[in-house]
Chain A
C-alpha cells in the first residue's frame, strides 16, 4: 500500500511539474492521471497492490469533496442575492448536459454497432 501511494504521488508530482513547466491550463493531477493511464497501457495493467489501494481511495471519493463543499458558508450572501439565476442555471444546465451527452452517445454508439 505504501508503494502504491508513493507511485500515485509521483505521478501527481510529475503532472504538477509538467503543468507548471508548459504553463498548461490543465491541473497537475489530471495530467498525472493521463500519465498513469499511459503507463498502465504500456505495462499491461496495474499491480494487485496498486489496484487495491486505488479501490480503497476511490471507495471514499465522496468524502474528499466535503472540505471544499463546506466553503459554501463563505458565499451565502452572494448566493442569497443571486439565488434564482444560480438555481435555475445549475439545475437546468446539469440535466440538459446529461441528456445531450447521453443522447449523442446513444445515437452514435447504436449507429456504430449496427454498422459493424
Chain B
C-alpha cells in the first residue's frame, strides 16, 4: 500500500493491523487506561483492570472488524511473558518459606478440598443446567492458571481457547468478590485469604491478592502453583469417569 496523503482511516487501519505493532500497542494502552480507571475508583475490585481492558479491546476489534488472529500477532509478546512471570512467582513464595513449613499439612488438605470443589462443582452445575460436553470439559480446569488449564482442556477433549476465557472470567470473579465473601465469613487471616483466592482464581486472584498485602499475595501464588500441579495430575484421571457417569 502506498502512503498517499489523505488515505482513509480504514485504509490506514488495514495497513497497520498487518504488523504486530498495533496489537501490542493497543494492549498496553488499554491496560494502562484500565489501571487509571481502577485508580479513579480507588482500586474498587469491580473496576478490575483485566475486565476493563478486555472489554475495551473486544469492542474496538469488533467495531473495526479486526480478527482475533491479527490482534494476537501483536499481543503474543505480552502473552509470552506469562511463562517467565509464572517462574518468577517462586520468589514471593520463597519469602513465605518459614510459614509454609509450619502450615504444610493444613495447606495441603485445604488445597485438595478446594481443588476438587473447583473442578467438580463447576462440571455438576453445568451438567444440571444443560451445558454440552465440550463446554463441561472446557469448564473443569477453570480455577487453574491459563497455560495449565489450556493444556488440560486440550488433553481431555475440551476447547482450549474457550477454557482460557472461562479461566479469566473465574479469575475476575474471585478477584472482584473474594473480599466481600471474607467479610461475610469473618475471615481475616491474610494467609487463609490469599490461599483460598489462589486455589479458586489463580493468577488474577493472585494479582488482586498482592494489592491487599505482600503476604496475601505470596500465599495466593503458592496456592495457584500447587493447584496447577494438583489439577494437572488429578483431572485427567478423575474427569473421564465422571463424564461417563454423568452420561
Show the binding face of A for B, using Cβ within 8 Å.
Answer: 5, 8-9, 11-12, 15, 24-30, 32-34, 36-37, 40-41, 45-46, 50-51, 53-55, 57-75, 78-79, 82, 84-86, 88-106, 108-109, 111-112
Question: Is chain A's interface secondary structure helix, strand, loop, or mixed overall?
Answer: helix
* Chain B residues, Cβ within 8 Å of A63: 27-28, 31, 49, 53, 78
Question: Is chain B's interface secondary structure helix, strand, loop, or mixed overall?
Answer: helix
A110 vs B34: C-alpha distance when bound (angstroms): 39
Name the residue of chain A whose CB is nearest to the CB of B221.
A58
In the assembled complex, the CB of B198 is this many whole angstroms from the nearest CB of chain A, namely 9
In the assembled complex, the CB of B62 is this many whole angstroms from the nearest CB of chain A, namely 7
Show the binding face of B for A, using Cβ within 8 Å.
Answer: 23, 27-28, 30-31, 48-50, 53-54, 57-58, 61-62, 68, 71-72, 75-76, 78-79, 81-94, 97, 103, 105-107, 109-111, 113-114, 117-118, 121-123, 125-132, 135, 139, 142-143, 145-148, 151-152, 155, 159, 161-162, 164-171, 173-174, 177-178, 181-182, 185, 187, 189, 191-193, 195-197, 199-201, 203-204, 206-207, 210, 223, 225, 228-229, 232-233, 236
* Chain B residues, Cβ within 8 Å of A29: 82-84, 86-87, 147
A65 vs B208: C-alpha distance when bound (angstroms): 13
23 sampled A-B residue pairs with Cβ under 8 A: A11-B87, A12-B83, A25-B232, A26-B148, A27-B232, A30-B225, A33-B86, A33-B87, A58-B89, A61-B85, A63-B31, A65-B203, A68-B165, A68-B167, A69-B165, A74-B68, A74-B162, A75-B165, A91-B173, A92-B121, A104-B113, A108-B105, A112-B106
